Amino acid sequence: MRNHLKLASVITARWIVFVLLSAPAAAQQPAQLAPIEMQPLAAQVKRLIETLDYLGAPLDPVDKQALERAVNGTDVGWANRAVQDVLDKHRLVDIHISSEGRVRVTQGGVNPELVEHGWRTFIVKVRNEADVTAPLEIESLNALPVHARSKADSQSPLASRPRPSITESDVADRWLEISLYTKPPMRRRLSGLVFEYFIVQLYSRDEGKREARLRFYVGQGTQDLSLRNEVDILFTCLPSTDVTLQVLDEQGKPTTASFIIRDAQGHIYPSQAKRLAPDFAFQPQIYRSDGEKLKLPAGDYTVEFTRGPEYLIKRQPLKVIAGKPQTATFRLERWIDAARLGWYSGDHHIHAAGCQHYETPTQGVRPEDMIRHILGEALNVGSVLTWGPCYYHQKQFFEGKVNQLSTPAHLMRYDIEVSGFPSSHNGHLMLLGLRDQNYPGAKDIEEWPSWNLPILKWARAQGAVAGYTHSGGGLIVTTTRLPNYEMPRYDGIGANEYVVDVTHDAIDLFSTVDTPAVWELNMWYHTLNAGFRTRIAGETDFPCIFGQRLGMGRSYVQLDGRLDFDAWLQGLKDGRAYVSEGKSHLMDFRVNGLPVGTRGSEIKLDKPETVRVTAKVAARLDEQPNEFIRGRRLDQQPYWDVERARIGNTREVPVEVVVNGQPVAKKNLLADGSVRELTFELPVERSSWVALRIYPSAHTNPIFVTVGGKPIRASRKSVEWLLQGVDQCWSQKVSLIAEKERAEAAAAYEHARRVYRRILAESDQD
């Protein structure tokens, strides 16, 4: 009996030990970990909210407010709990890394719902008890193989794992695409914080019920821990329905427009996450033409549609019923048609590659994609500029003429921005209307000149129009006065060497609108005051400075006949143009009846007299102020916007007459979209330049009024500033100019000094 009791005791003890050792991890109480400090917690929350907004999958306003209250409090423990209470509702999976570094994955509480032919965005939570800082990795046998993913994913450690070849029987099970979103501000590696959130994006090829097995890794070894690091999730994949778009312009004719499509939760369709050309992932809008189709899951949507700044932004509901194809009609409405009034819009600085363009920015997109955006923004002219990062691939599209995809009302031409070339440090150049894009004797970019003047002379010799882009770069000043006499550093990629090149009569255009107006206009005003006659042009530098859309900076050129690229470019060169962001217009600017850009834009007076300034002007503001825009500093985007010109809480903006850089007369304009004629009587005492502006929204080119045959010498201080600028520019650029070219460049700079000294001697007043 004693032996039986002893045996029973041993068995019982061993059973207790076995049960304890076999207890699931979930039953073990995790160690109490210190909460995340407030600053990194707030940074994590901000990063997550910003990214979800960017991806078109925002949290609802109530959750955002709760998160804001949590991270703006003082109780760290409460903030940690509150943040998790909000975000845990949206997690697809929960990843637990134990103190031993073991990974266990469980399904979260969010509804696992996908959409056929579409991407959905989810949150992944990582609870990290081991201070792991390895990259978080994800894969699924239900997804496409690693080699079919993006370049960034293919560099993952998972890419080296052996994978079985796909057989025909596997195809049905490969219905999923999956990727972690790790672009800034999100991160690929774990931070080591006790908890943090990642973003995962899933694409469904199919509709219906589909199960997927998701696996997560946080470094070597975690993939060998039985099945703890994977979870099976049954997804409901909603069917998509064909929606045919009927897109009609203001005359009821088929056209192309911009569309932003949001569901009731604010999610954007098609998902921005994995858009392919012609749709751009960095934009919420898509561009679609009349008769094209979209696939949307059943639901209620709000569609915002427009066609550039000359059109009203309209909104209308769209209800999609599952399995019921339908047609939706969208009728656009203009508030102004500048082309019908003879003024044709153009953006001379847009790119098809580089900057925000896709995961292969060195290649970018094709002309078929760019023309869609030109049409969708109602640009009459779009100059697609090939530049350094994409030069060797994109140069194949250069034809030396208008691209064949152009339409009678919308022209596209490929040319060059000298950016990413050896001379770029002196300022980027736009070369428009080239007949030959290959610099003589240069087989590749590295063999081009290392300063700008030789390039400008070469371009102009073949009839091209040349000038500086994003002119304010390197010409930064701290004041908001115009003109001002602060000396910029000349250390950027804007119109830096312009201070020299303008004295060689080598410059046609000076670009504006895509850098702060004070930085741009200050240099231009000073050179006009010294008697030079460079014209301005408006540009966007899409998608490098502005990625929201092309045409955010525009030149409006007056043409008497039909739209023609060469005529438009000649009008730009002659100054028969004004610049604008498209929300305000200064048309038919004249002095004593002489239209700007005609007969050299020059009026000759025998003696001082009063001149008559006239123009047709229009602008449009919403009735309620946009506090976000008008509350921003002038060096914050958008740099040029009519909202910045609004007078108080009225719907008026000032139209100013500018003489030699100074506003001398002003009339307020009701910005209701109506075209009005304005007249000013203006005394001119000495040779001067005259222009109109709605600052900072629109600016005309100048008309030059000479008195008694004397040149314009408006300001000694301007000339002194320019002369000092030559020395400042040389100090910044000389070491970057190739040694073999340095002597020639030094001579060109000295020529500029001599010219400014001569002009200074001819200038007797300010």
Q: Are 101 and 221 within 8 A, CB to CB?
A: yes
Alpha-helical (H) ranges within 563-615 are 565-574
Tokens 């057989």 sit at which residue?
167
C-alpha angle 499-500-502 in degrees, rounded to nearest 5:
75
Q: pLDDT tens-digit profile of 743-753?
A: 999 999 999 99
pLDDT recorded at residue 577: 98
Q: 3-state DSSP call for residue 637?
A: coil
Q: pLDDT tens-digit profile of 608-646?
A: 999 999 999 999 999 999 999 999 999 999 999 999 999
pLDDT classification of 80: cutoffs 50, 70, 90: very high
**Is CATH 1.20.1630 the classification given to domain 583-714?**
no
Helices and strands (H, E) in the chain, number of each type: 14, 36
DSSP3 helix / strand / coil % (the chain, rounded to 5): 30, 30, 40
Omega within 30 of 0 (cis) for the link into 488? no
- Percent of residues, the chain, with pLDDT higher than 90: 81
Handedness of CA 119, 58, 265, 307 (dihedral sign): negative
Fold of the domain built from segment(s) 338-582+716-766:
TIM Barrel (3.20.20)
pLDDT classification of 81: cutoffs 50, 70, 90: very high
Q: 3-state DSSP call for residue 161?
A: coil
Closest CA to 645 of 637, 656, 635, 636: 656
Give the whole-angstrom CA distance, residue 109 versus residue 663. 63
Give 402-469 as a DSSP string. Answer: B-TT-BTTBEEEEEEEE-SSTTGGG--EEEES-S--SPTT-SSGGGS-SSSHHHHHHHHHTT-EEEES
Give the whole-angstrom CA distance, residue 640 versus residue 187. 33
Handedness of CA 368, 372, 374, 378 (dihedral sign): positive
Closest CA to 216 of 312, 127, 139, 324: 139
pLDDT over 90 at 141, yes or no: no
**Rounded mean pLDDT of 142-163?**
43
pLDDT recorded at residue 111: 95
Closest CA to 467 of 531, 527, 403, 545: 527
Tokens 């052996």 sit at which residue?
162
Task: Say which residue, 502 or 276, is predicted with more confidence.
Answer: 502
pLDDT classification of 220: cutoffs 50, 70, 90: low
- Within 10 Å of residue 650's Cβ, how many Cβ atoms? 13
pLDDT over 60 at 150, yes or no: no
Residues in the chain: 766
pLDDT classification of 696: cutoffs 50, 70, 90: very high
| Phi and psi at residue 746, to the nearest 5° | -60, -40
Strand ranges inside 620-671, DSSP E: 652-659, 662-670
Give domain 33-155+173-237's CATH number out of 2.60.40.10, 3.40.1440.10, 2.40.30.10, 3.30.360.30: 2.60.40.10
* Least confident span in 137-146, 152-161, 284-293: 152-161
**Rounded mean pLDDT of 502-512?**
98
Give the whole-angstrom CA distance, residue 306 versus residue 159. 43
Token duo for residue 76: 């760290």
Q: pLDDT tens-digit profile of 315-362?
A: 999 999 988 999 999 999 999 999 999 999 999 999 999 888 655 656
pLDDT classification of 650: cutoffs 50, 70, 90: very high
Q: pLDDT tens-digit profile of 412-459?
A: 999 999 999 999 999 999 999 999 999 999 999 999 999 999 999 999
Give the whole-angstrom CA distance, residue 41 versus residue 53. 19
pLDDT recorded at residue 281: 85
pLDDT recorded at residue 265: 76
pLDDT over 90 at 402, yes or no: yes
pLDDT recorded at residue 319: 96
Give the whole-angstrom CA distance, residue 395 versus residue 411. 18
Token duo for residue 488: 């910029």
- Within 10 Å of residue 535's Cβ, how many Cβ atoms? 25
**Amino acid identity at 80:** N
- Within 10 Å of residue 549's Cβ, how many Cβ atoms? 22
Give the whole-angstrom CA distance, residue 166 versus residue 159. 16
pLDDT over 70 at 92, yes or no: yes
**Rounded mean pLDDT of 658-682?**
98
- Within 10 Å of residue 197's Cβ, how many Cβ atoms? 20
**Amino acid identity at 554:** R
Q: Are 595 and 588 within 8 A, CB to CB?
A: yes
Give the whole-angstrom CA distance, residue 64 versus residue 67. 5
Give the whole-angstrom CA distance, residue 611 versus residue 682. 5
pLDDT recorded at residue 722: 98
pLDDT recorded at residue 266: 85
Average pLDDT value over all residues in the chain: 90
pLDDT recorded at residue 257: 98
Provide the 8-state DSSP code for 373.
H
**Rounded mean pLDDT of 300-313?**
97
pLDDT over 80 at 14, yes or no: no
pTM across the whole model: 0.82
Q: 3-state DSSP call for residue 85?
A: helix
User: b/e for 122-149, b at 16 or more Cβ within 10 A?
Assistant: bbbbbbbbbebebbbbbbbbbbbeeeeb
Token duo for residue 18: 């076995």
Give the whole-angstrom CA distance, residue 756 versus residue 392. 40
pLDDT over 50 at 512, yes or no: yes
Long-range residue pairs from 66-72, CB within 8 A, at least 24 positions apart, any chain: 70/45, 71/38, 71/41, 71/42, 71/45, 71/46, 72/42
**Amino acid identity at 115:** V
* Least confident span in 33-37, 557-561, 654-658: 33-37
Closest CA to 689 of 718, 668, 667: 718
Q: Are 578 and 585 within 8 A, CB to CB?
A: yes
Give the whole-angstrom CA distance, residue 460 versus residue 744. 19
pLDDT classification of 101: cutoffs 50, 70, 90: confident
Q: Are 76 and 39 within 8 A, CB to CB?
A: no
pLDDT over 50 at 17, yes or no: no
Q: 3-state DSSP call for residue 619?
A: strand
pLDDT recorded at residue 1: 42
Segments of the chain assigned to CATH 2.60.40.10: 33-155+173-237, 240-331
- Percent of residues, the chain, with pLDDT higher than 70: 90
pLDDT over 60 at 754, yes or no: yes
Handedness of CA 49, 54, 55, 61 (dihedral sign): positive
Tokens 């200050």 sit at which residue?
522
| Phi and psi at residue 264, to the nearest 5° | -65, -25
Task: Say which residue, 694 or 268, is predicted with more confidence.
Answer: 694
| Phi and psi at residue 180, to the nearest 5° | -80, 140
Using CA atoms, how far residue 308 sits from 82, 418, 584, 626, in Å, is: 43, 28, 13, 18
| Phi and psi at residue 261, to the nearest 5° | -115, 120
Specify the pairing of strand 176-180 against strand 137-139: unpaired
Segments of the chain assigned to CATH 3.20.20.140: 338-582+716-766
Q: pLDDT tens-digit profile of 228-280?
A: 789 999 999 999 999 999 999 999 999 999 999 998 878 888 888 667 889 99
Residues in CB range of 568: below 8 A, 6 or more apart: 344, 346, 380, 381, 411, 557, 559
**Is CATH 3.40.50.300 the classification given to domain 240-331?**
no
Q: Which secondary structure element, helix H or strand E, spans residue 733, and what is its range? A: helix 716-733
